[in-house]
Structure 1
Amino acid sequence: MRDAYVVGAGQTAFGAFPRESYRSLFATAVERALASVDGLDRGDVDEAVVGTLGVGGRQIGLSGPAVTEHAGLSVPTTRVENACAASGYAVRNAVQAVKSGMADVVLAGGYEVMTDLSGDAAKYWLGVSGETEWERLTGTTFAGTYAQMAGAYAEAYDATVDDLSRAAVKNHANAAKNPHAHLGFECSLDDASGAATVADPLTLYHCCPTSDGAAAVLVASEEVAAEFDDTARVAGVGAASDRVGLFERESYTSIPASEDAAATAYEMAGVGPGDVDLAEVHDCFAIAELLAYEDLGFCERGEAPELLREGVTDADGDLPVNVSGGLKAKGHPIGATGAGQIVELWKQLTGRAGDRQVADANLGLAHNVGGSGGAAVVTLLEGGA
């Protein structure tokens, strides 16, 4: 099988744009992705794969062709729904199409408009990614689900609220340098730990915002990629599924789908966790970032708080994590999140990240989770350095 490369990428700002159409947001992301590659245009795209949850019930059927047509693409289009991992899986499907030889250039991306709904309606749509009968219909919210995970982790490893807050403080500091971030401001440890409780032990600053936005990535064959300078090779990609309901799993202090997806990606790339130079991980809630450190093999079980305390995952640390601001502060428009992670990695690996550029980064990891762990996808991108 031939290699696949990310040759261009673009996204909208993530934030609150209730007057925007999901079609217009996606068209903007596509336009920016195409503009990032000198010499590639719409006519070169063979097909498209797009991810969305479809919040609010707008255009549930054929929403994929609806957005690609609006973006000026007359190509076969497939919509992927895997909750918050939708566009991470869309990128994976694009990679598979290119590696198999069925396509030379595939556009992969995602989109979501969430802030035009009432709080109650948004809570409903967020909840549909949980186990329906025993979680959502009994009143469990996603904050409540991840709070259970945080509580179990704190009990198992003597972690504190401040340990959760350090992830939030770090990601807000990173987002302050990202012009696309929804919450582009800094916060202190006291701000994060002392904020209002959402679901004990999670405070407001431990929870990602409800965001709108879109992201698009251009995946191309090695023959096409050879024509361009700023490319990143897809060194490995892995995906896994697990039980949708948290209560059905053996442990509340890990996400097995993340472990399995990472193992597949590492094996494909012929690397290990120690080779990763930077990572974008799925931190919908602060506890999710701590779990990701351990599930992805960055440290042993129970050692995630120590990485944060020692600054290992800071922007200038040995392993920068979520230099974009992560879901926590960059934002989380569900269908766009996974592709947005790839956009950030591509920018970092091609030296386009501006004030948040990580020096000497060659191998980047994107980690995208659906729901509380019912699905996960891990992608490894290798730069040209």
Structure 2
Amino acid sequence: MTRSLRDRIAIVGMGCTKFGELWDTSADDLVIEAAHDAIASVPGLTKDDIDAYWYSTLASGHAGLPLAKALKVERPVTHVENFCASGSDAFRNAAFAVAAGVYDVAMAVGVEKLKDSGYSGLTVHEPPGNNTASEVSPPATYALLPSAYSRAYGVAPGDVRQALTHIAWRNHANGAKNPERAQYSSIVPKERIEQAPKVAGDLSVFDCSGVADGAAAAIIVRAEDALKYTDKPIYLKGMALHAGMSNGAATAGEQHASFPEVVACAARAYAEAGITDPRRQLSMAEVHDCFTPTEMILMEDLGFSGRGQAWQDVINGDFDLDGVLAVNPDGGLKSFGHPVGASGLRMIFELWLQLRGEAGARQLADPRLALSHNMGGMPGEFISFIGIFGKELG
């Protein structure tokens, strides 16, 4: 039996650093900045009021000791690692603890220092497997998605390419409205995106999210206590995490034109939140656009577009800031950057700003419900998280 946390949990404070190539900033510095900014966003709160911490990172620390050392706290600290969904899972576990009544105030903090790792991508050591996993790089794996989508729905490759270019262009344009925090904050013309060097298959450098350093943090309380801390809390409406069986890459006929883990995760989160028409009921969504074709496919798996229609909806501007449903208004992973342990909390941070009316130049008009989608893994072997938040109870 799975029970809902709908309207039982609230976020009352958040903080987020700038994401980017932060060579002169340590992981400790980033944790301190994000945590202190979150605490400062709640009048009268101090770090002594935080009962417990959940600390998410893939490769920038072990156990809970790095956070305790950086913040100089003697509190329970739990290290959470769930690949690129680590930050969301830290939030999820902190929410469970508060809802259970074990703690009154909890903090989830996510951080990653990828630029100091000596690698251009993720620093991860895979355990021995059964030889069914992909042995190619993430860009090469995700480069299979556009052709799989074309075959599955009979869409011309040129039309798919046009949609991917629009996604890259739009997310960079949104990032340009977020210069204080986004890794890339310049508009990139579509012509430049089309002409950029290819990384793998038809994917160019502008189809890939940025490798970045950064941190984000959230302060979580029970919903009935939220107004003691702030007059503008945001409330959890639905939440789900789904881990696939990791057999997709070895399954005969696997198309990779859909992510089953996301579909299952969305069904659970929507049921909790009472959402039957996400395209109409949601005001915005932050989604895991690690590569541009990922975002296109997610539009269908999340129910924002019909099957085989996302490419056209993207080109039509349905997911632009002024479209039917704004997607990645802060620039997404593509423009904001992707420090693995922090990304899930960064997505929630944008929902926090938007629902409180504090997103500045990219502020949407009166958003009511917002979705955060974060995932980790490869096509055929994903972990998917979805959280839905609103600014009102009920």
Q: TM-score range by the shorter chain?
A: over 0.9
Q: CA offset at residue 65 of structure 1? A: 2.6
Q: Give runs of aligned pairs for residues 17-96 of structure 1, distance below 5 A.
A: 17-54=22-59, 59-60=61-62, 62=63, 64-96=64-96
Partner residue in 2 for 1:160: 160
Pick the aligned partner of 1:254 from 254, 258, 283. Answer: 258
Which letter maps to 1:146?
Y
Q: State the SS of the aligned residue for 1:125.
A: coil
Q: Give runs of aligned pairs for residues 110-259 of structure 1, distance below 5 A.
A: 110-118=110-118, 121-123=119-121, 125=123, 128=126, 133-135=131-133, 138=135, 140-157=136-153, 158=155, 159-178=159-178, 179-227=180-228, 228-244=230-246, 246-248=248-250, 250-259=254-263
Structure 1: gaps spanning 5 or more residues: none
Q: In the superposition, relative to structure 1, how do residues 245 and 165 fare at CA in structure 2: closer, same or farther (>3 Å)?
A: farther
Q: CA offset at residue 133 of structure 1? A: 4.2
Q: In the superposition, relative to structure 1, how do residues 128 and 162 fare at CA in structure 2: closer, same or farther (>3 Å)?
A: farther
Name the TM-score, length of structure 1 as normaliser.
Answer: 0.93
Partner residue in 2 for 1:377: 385
Partner residue in 2 for 1:3: 8
Q: State the SS of the aligned residue for 2:187.
A: coil
Q: State the SS of the aligned residue for 2:188.
A: coil
Q: CA offset at residue 104 of structure 1? A: 1.5
Partner residue in 2 for 1:270: 274
Q: Aligned pair count?
A: 376
Q: CA offset at residue 126 of structure 1? A: 5.9
Q: In the superposition, relative to structure 1, how do residues 132 and 309 fare at CA in structure 2: closer, same or farther (>3 Å)?
A: farther
Which letter maps to 1:216?
A
**Alignment RMSD, CA only?**
2.0
Name the TM-score, length of structure 2 as normaliser.
Answer: 0.90
**Residues 198-254 of structure 1, C-alpha deviations (whole Å, 9 max, x = no match):** 111111100011100000011111232021201000011011001346513544111
Q: State the SS of the aligned residue for 1:84.
A: coil
Matched, 1:319 2:325: yes
Residue pair 1:129, 1:371 contacting (<8 A) in 2 also: no
Q: CA offset at residue 131 of structure 1? A: 7.3
Instruction: Percent identity, please.
Output: 35
Structure 2: gaps spanning 5 or more residues: none
Q: In the superposition, relative to structure 1, how do residues 129 and 111 fare at CA in structure 2: closer, same or farther (>3 Å)?
A: farther
**The 10-residue stretch of structure 1 (85-94 or 124-133) with the greater mean CA deviation from structure 2:** 124-133
Residue pair 1:127, 1:142 contacting (<8 A) in 2 also: no
In structure 2, distance between residues paired with 1:173 and 1:362: 23
In structure 1, distance between residues paired with 2:109 and 2:345: 5
Q: CA offset at residue 114 of structure 1? A: 0.6
Q: State the SS of the aligned residue for 1:111.
A: strand
In structure 1, distance between residues paired with 2:30 and 2:223: 29
Residue pair 2:11, 2:221 contacting (<8 A) in 1 also: yes
Which letter maps to 1:203?
S
Which letter maps to 1:342?
I
Q: CA offset at residue 11 of structure 1? A: 0.7
Q: CA offset at residue 134 of structure 1? A: 4.3
**The 10-residue stretch of structure 1 (147-156 or 203-212) with the greater mean CA deviation from structure 2:** 147-156
Q: In the superposition, relative to structure 1, how do residues 380 and 312 fare at CA in structure 2: closer, same or farther (>3 Å)?
A: same
Residue pair 2:114, 2:211 contacting (<8 A) in 1 also: yes
**Residues 76-113 of structure 1, C-alpha deviations (whole Å, 9 max, x = no match):** 11111111100111111111112222222110121000
Q: In the superposition, relative to structure 1, how do residues 233 and 338 fare at CA in structure 2: closer, same or farther (>3 Å)?
A: same
Q: CA offset at residue 122 of structure 1? A: 3.6
